[in-house]
Amino acid sequence: MTVVKTSASRLESRSVLPVTLLMQAAASAAIIAPPIAAPRLTAILNVSGVAIGLYVALVYSSAMLSSQWGAVMVRRWGPIRTSQASLLLCSVGLLLMAVPHLAAATAGAVLLGLGYGPMTPASSEMLARSTPPERIALVFSIKQTGVPLGGALAGLLVPSALLAWGASAAMALMALLCLVGMGLAQPLRRALDALRDPRSPMPKLGNITGPMRAILAHPTLRRVSLAAMIFSAVQASLGSYLVSFLTADLAWTLVAAGGALSIAQGASILSRVAWGALADRLHDGPRRTLRWLAILMALASVAMAGLAATTGAWWVLAVTTVYGATAIGWHGAVLGTVARLVAHEEAATATAGCLFFAFFGSLIGPPLLGLAGALLGSLGLAYALLAVPLLWVLYLLGSRWSE
């Protein structure tokens, strides 16, 4: 055990973190690519834009399922082979999304979710095993910048490929990025998959509840996971409706609204690292950092209700940037906290259980926000309502915990 940990520690500075970052970016780009290509894909499939919401539901439902198998897969195959299998599923899913048949596209969305779910449990075990405890939140935060980096890659590559070669080529290009991630991870397999147990049981429905039970049995992990569920619902709501809010409620152009979303995403890249550093350095840092995230998200949510067509662009950008830096920037601090609270060999299980709650938040957040916006006649007021569950997070994290 010690020998493997030492080997992984030597690898961390030069290989483990960059490779996990690239694999996370590739998986995130794979998930985001179909919605970016939606105008062409929906035309090919002869479906309406409502299909985008169904795509999101299929992806996150599948990811909720497969994330619970992530720990079992890591135990049997090792974190590298599990990550490679996940990226392979994502690449096949992307290719199916470009087939001009609704059944194939549906299967593609399911495969994308099944591939996306185990990625974070696998990378959490790799990093937990190879990172000193005093740097764990920072390292996890750097790795999680792969999510907005993947979005940036998809935003850069997919539109150009669509215009130049069409939807099939755009999906194939993102599939190629997944295959590149698989190849770059191979040199780490011997060191990081050395603790795998080939006799461990295969993923099956019977062991799907194991990670969730582990979370519910641990009071602190339960509180952190419920906070992750709320944070994830806020994040998904911001990403799904910000452009619609700016164009419909504030009369911004589509290009300007897209630019505001890009700035919010960019702010989260830097803030993820900053939140991770704070969690590592502050006394009682993980809990205090998560509480500050909840406070700032709540303030930004309420501030959205005060924005109008007459509001200055700089103030709108200030609010949405703070919103992005918190609502899209929390992942590393949460996942680093989860890894800190358990032994490194349990990191994949604990992460998988936490992700079930986070994916559930992503699944229910946008529909509830959309319904609230329709009932209130204002997406800004609907965003303000998100402050209520965020105040509940403050209550959940109100008392100190022991690590």
Q: In the structure encoding, which two tokens stand for residue 242, read together? A: 């910000």
Cα 255-260-263 angle, rounded to 5 deg: 125
Task: Give the torsion sign (CA, 268, 269, 270, 276).
Answer: positive
| Residue 105, phi then psi, degrees to nearest 5 | -65, -40
Q: What is the DSSP letter of 166?
A: -
> For the purposes of burial, counting CB atoms within 10 Å of the CB of 85, is it exposed (0-12), middle (13-18) or buried (19 or more)?
middle
The structure's pTM equals 0.75
Outline where 203-346 has alpha helix (H): 210-216, 219-244, 254-281, 285-305, 313-327, 331-340
Q: Which amino acid is at 42?
A: T
Structural domains of the chain sorted by starting position, each given as residue range(s) with its CATH number in brackets: 1-185 (1.20.1250.20), 209-403 (1.20.1250.20)
Question: What pLDDT tens digit does each residue of the chain (403 aa) get?
Answer: 333 344 444 444 456 778 888 898 999 889 888 887 877 887 888 876 556 767 878 888 898 888 877 777 887 888 889 999 999 999 999 999 888 888 999 999 999 999 998 888 888 777 777 677 667 777 777 777 788 788 778 877 888 888 888 888 989 999 999 999 999 888 888 877 777 767 766 666 656 677 788 888 888 999 999 999 999 999 888 877 887 888 889 998 877 887 888 788 788 888 888 888 888 777 777 888 999 999 999 999 999 999 999 999 999 999 999 999 999 888 878 877 887 888 767 777 788 888 889 989 988 888 888 888 889 988 899 999 999 999 999 999 987 665 4
The answer for residues whose C-beta is within 8 angstroms of residue 171's C-beta and 6 or more apart is 33, 34, 37, 94, 95, 97, 98
Q: What separation in angstroms does the CA of 242 have from each of 90, 252, 266? A: 27, 11, 15
